[in-house]
Amino acid sequence: MTEDKVSAKVLKGLEPLGSLSESRLGELAALVFVEHVSKNLDPFRMQGVAGQSVYLLRGELALTLKDGSSTVVVGGTGEARYPLGRKAPFAAAKAITDIDLVRIDDDLLDIMATWDQLGGGDRRASEQAAPTLGNWAILTGMFSVNNLRTGAFSQLPPAHIEALLKRFTRVPAKRGQAIIREGEVGDFYYVVETGKCEVERTVGGARIKLAQLKAGDAFGEEALVSGAKRNATVTMITDGTLFRLDQKDFNELLREPLLQRVTLEEAKAKVAAGAQWLDVRYPSEFQFDKLPGAINIPVAEIRDAARLLDRDREYVVYCQSGRRSSAAAFLLAQRGYKAFLLEGGLWGGEKRAPAAAR
């Protein structure tokens, strides 16, 4: 079995990947590979599909479904645009011909979908000083895939993204400029957009270099969270630009949002009493594992579609993981709707099981 890179063009033909912006598809293409499997082999004998979206790009694959029936999926057809086993789970597989597959981590895809939908995709950057949902392009370094998965923003509550982007201020920084100084009172939180910084601390009277920060890295949060003084000095080692958030906004927007969360059992009770399931994923995700009676409004459309909802009715909002639905529930609540967040999303209870809501 061998692996090659997959192109962004190929990924664009898959669902729900085709809804991602061009920049996100490019990032994703750099992270995934084409997997070549020879005829007569089971491509899932060593590694199944749990936690992954697996697509058949080329060749013919026989699947034995869990009800005992069988089907053949052919690469390049309409059916192959969707993840294998998502519509009908299978118990066994065999390559009828040599085949090509691509596997994408579900959590990675959900992170990308969350930020891409909320950020407005590939909209052009403006010359405004503060980032907004309308000039998302200037934030692509700060919100790169790696930073969304493991960096400063990996734990950011998506419900606060819109307000957060509005309150960041973009400031230029010169080489040699000390952005924060050890011993000072904390006042701002920073994220590096471009350029590099160096972190130093005084230990036993000597200056010790602790780290070097690059685009997407954040600093200044420790003093804001603890209320203590700065414990290090951060100095620019190149010219660059920073995004800055003041202490008040940091405390308000980078803490666990005040959302009305409900468990699956609580959500079922609300729906039984007249509440409406509201699925905020892409339509191509919604069609395969929607909850009974749910309506679909992708989170990117919530702002415009909210006026069509009934202000007197309760809505239980969900997605795969809770990322997109937390943002949607927050946006609805801001507009006066009775929105409740299904805690953990579909993955939080009986994973991808529509029957869980019956």
Angle 27-217-110 from CA coordinates, rounded to 5°: 40
Under a CB-based contact definition with an 8 Å cutoff, are residues 165 and 190 in contact?
no
Per the document, the length of the chain is 358
Q: Which of 327, 301, 351, 349 is nearest to 121 (CA)?
A: 301
- Sign of the C-alpha dihedral computed for residues 146, 152, 156 and 158 taken in this order: negative
Q: What is the 3-state secondary structure (H, E, C) of 126-167?
A: CCCCCCCHHHHHHHCCCCCHHHHHHCCCCCCCHHHHHHHHHH
In the block, residue with structure tokens 């590694």: 47
Q: Which of 104, 319, 327, 346 is catalytic?
A: 319
CB 148 within 8 A of CB 163: no
d(CA 358, CA 355): 5
197 catalytic per annotation: no
Closest CA to 213 of 199, 200, 232: 199
**Tokens 């645009």 appear where?**
81
Could you give the residue numbers annotated as active site? Answer: 319
